[in-house]
Amino acid sequence: MNLAVRRFLLFFFSIATLASCDDPTEIGIDLQDENQIGTNFTDTITINTGTVLLPDSILSFKVAPAQVGILADPVLGTLKATTYTEVALNGADITFGENPQVDSMVLTLDYSFIYGNKTEPLKINVFRLTEGFQEKASYFTTSTLAKEATPLASTTLVPLLYEKKKQFDVDSTAAKRLVKIKLPQSLINDFVAQSGQAPLKSQANFEAFFKGLAIAPAGDPSSILALNLAADSSKIVVHYKNGADKKKHIFRFAQSSAVDYFTNFEGNRTGTSVASLTQKGNFIPAKQTGNESYIQNNTQLVTKLTLPYLQQFKQAAGTIIINRAELIIPVKASSTSALPAPPQLVLYQTNNTNRILKDANGNPIAVQQNGVGQINGTAFPAPLAYDSEKNRYTLNITSYFQAMLLDKKPNTGLLLASATVVPTQSGVFSIAPETRPYRAIISNTESNKVQLVVYYSKLN
């Protein structure tokens, strides 16, 4: 039997053995006896980690959900979210009739997600914008708009989420999740004074008169809420009378495509182990931060992985076939009790500039789903789902690791960031940004380290 045939048969039987396993997703993690599958085994390939401040800004324009709140992270400092939004006129040629008697003007905001301390009160201020949205401008998580110095109104609430109850086979909600803020008489007078006038004749005119709102947190850190600006219950309602008739007019938010909005995120890392991350592209190795690295949504903090001794492994192992390569990324124990880790992560290819690399079409280059699509493609990005029981993320990177050993993928590092992999109508997948304010502390200590568990077969 010649050498080529022997290599083919060894590769074939390795693949067949893998296919026959009851739970192939656990190979490389639970198997300890390498003789079970007739391969060599290693879990000692060094993986260095650290924290990067991404060079690229994060787009926030019309990215749902909008958010408001402030929370205290004992590791990464405070995170503050402020929403800037236009308001939809919701009609044309709006009039309040002859001599309207206005009862109230109430802002309500639906929310569906709470991140942070769910028992502490959250104070919210509403400001009138003095600077409008620009048609051709881009708005990022670091963008702001000018607003009045004094808030129009404020409220303080302890956010609650109500689970749906099923009654008579019909889903109903126990109570609405709403922020309610009564707006001042001064604003009511401004609106009513425009009844039948040019500012209430069209959306463009209305935006020139009323540029929008800034919805901002105040007071002590507690939590961040995800706002459903497109919900029917997110609105401004003017209640008024014409004579004995009770009437109302509803101004909308993101239900209208004409309404622009974005969320600004402000992280204050003063006094933290990553306080020196102030310049885009900066990197701090985990050895300088207690063998921890960090991922925080919306503030451009991601974790970088590098394999500094891959070439030495390649030389020592010789010509091999990778049967299984499993990346294990542990999350620091007890770090998720108050601030949960992201549901999914994605591994992006990078280089010494610490940017997320992109292909010629502008698609981010991420590690692809193993055995699906092309190794250099972008159509099947691989998600790393968080395992809350084992407190870790795992990913089968067999094809990618083999490509690195064959110099078909560069060993220039990978960026671990929060994102969501979603299917498209064309049958491929895309990476959607995860904007909810999750954070993760990646452990790389001696007792709880990032590992690459590799099973391989030698061909010589």
- What are the pLDDT digits (tens) for 203-212? 999 999 999 9
In the chain, what are the domain boundaries? 3-56+280-458, 66-268
Assigned token pair, 399:
């094809």
In this structure, how many other beta carbons lie within 10 angstroms of the beta carbon of residue 388? 12
pLDDT at residue number 413? 96
Q: Mean pLDDT, to the nearest integer, of 124-144?
A: 96
For the segment 74-103, the average pLDDT, to the nearest whole number, is: 93
Query: What is the pLDDT, as a whole number, of residue 459?
Result: 84
What is the DSSP-derived secondary structure letter of residue 312? Answer: H
Instruction: Specify the pLDDT at position 143.
Output: 97
pLDDT-derived band at 374 (thresholds 50, 70, 90) equals confident
Q: pLDDT tens across 293-317, in order?
A: 999 999 999 999 999 999 999 999 8
What letter represents residue 68's amino acid? V
Q: Which tokens sit at 45?
A: 């390939």
Position 271 scores a pLDDT of 96
Give the residue-averaged pLDDT of 421-431. 91
Q: What is the pLDDT of residue 22?
A: 36
In the predicted structure, residue 13 carries a pLDDT above the cut 80: no
Distance CA 203, CA 201 (A): 7
Torsion of CA 62, 64, 67, 72, to 10 degrees: -120
257-299 pLDDT, tens digit per residue, is 889 999 999 999 999 999 999 999 999 999 999 999 999 999 9
Q: How far apart are CA 218 and CA 90, in angstroms?
A: 30
Question: Both tokens of residue 21?
Answer: 């396993």
Q: What is the pLDDT of residue 168?
A: 42
Return the higher-pLDDT residue of 274 and 6.
274
Closest CA to 449 of 332, 339, 340: 332
DSSP-derived secondary structure for 385-409: EEETTTTEEEEE-HHHHHHHHTTSS
Among 113-127, 167-181, 259-273, 420-434, whose mean pLDDT is lowest?
167-181
What's the whole-number mean pLDDT along residues 186-207?
94
Contacts of residues 24-29 at CB distance under 8 Å and 24 or more positions apart, as own/partner, are 25/396, 27/324, 27/326, 27/455, 28/324, 28/325, 28/326, 28/396, 28/453, 28/454, 28/455, 29/326, 29/328, 29/394, 29/453
Alpha-carbon distance of 228 to 217, in angstroms, equals: 17
For residue 330, say if its preceding peptide bond is cis, omega within 30 degrees of 0. no
Q: In this predicted structure, what is the pLDDT of residue 11?
A: 42
Does residue 354 register a pLDDT over 70?
Answer: yes
Say how far apart CA 208 and CA 132 lie, in whole Å.
Answer: 8
Characterize 79-91 residue by residue with b for buried, 16 or more Cβ atoms within 10 angstroms of its Cβ, and e for exposed. bbbbbbbbbbbbb
Token representation of residue 65: 């959900």
**Residue 336 neighbours by CB distance under 10 Å:** 17
Q: Residue 420: which pLDDT band, with cuts at 50, 70 and 90?
A: very high
- pLDDT > 90: what percent of the chain? 77
pTM (2 decimals)? 0.86
Determine how many CB atoms are found less than 10 A away from the CB of residue 126.
22
